[in-house]
Amino acid sequence: MKKVKDEFFIFDYKKRWLEVSAGPVVIPGFEEYDLFAHEEVDLDGYVVSEGKTGRKVSRIMDTKEEAIKHAAKLFTDHGKDRVDELIKQSVEKDGLSPRWSMED
């Protein structure tokens, strides 16, 4: 897989990809993951989402910093093996974000 776009996309409840205004997030120890923080669509607050799946990693928080801190805790608590498995399952179920390509 390789990243092919700079834009950020989330997968919403209507099973479609939505482009969002976001910024990259780096969690120490998990630098290889494509994470980004953005305002939640239709709600007040911020979340961190994962780039290949467009899925939320953190719950909705009042500030971007709180959302990043919560995402870091979840990644640390679950570990890379579990995170990788969840990403794999999500891509198999709903496909890969337009940000990414299956080609190498």
What is the per-residue pLDDT across 53-85, written as a single tens digit (0 to 9) for each?
A: 999 999 889 999 999 999 999 999 999 999 999
Q: Looking at the predicted structure, is the pLDDT value of residue 104 above 80?
A: no
Q: What is the mean pLDDT of the chain?
A: 94
Q: What is the mean pLDDT of residues 26-55?
A: 95
Q: What is the mean pLDDT of residues 32-49?
A: 93
Percent of residues, the chain, with pLDDT higher than 70? 100
pLDDT at site 103: 84
Each residue of 8-22: pLDDT tens digit? 999 987 889 999 999
pLDDT at site 4: 95
**Residues paired with residue 91 on neighbouring β-strands, in sequence order:** none
Nearest one of 63, 65, 77, 67 to 30, comparing CA atoms: 77
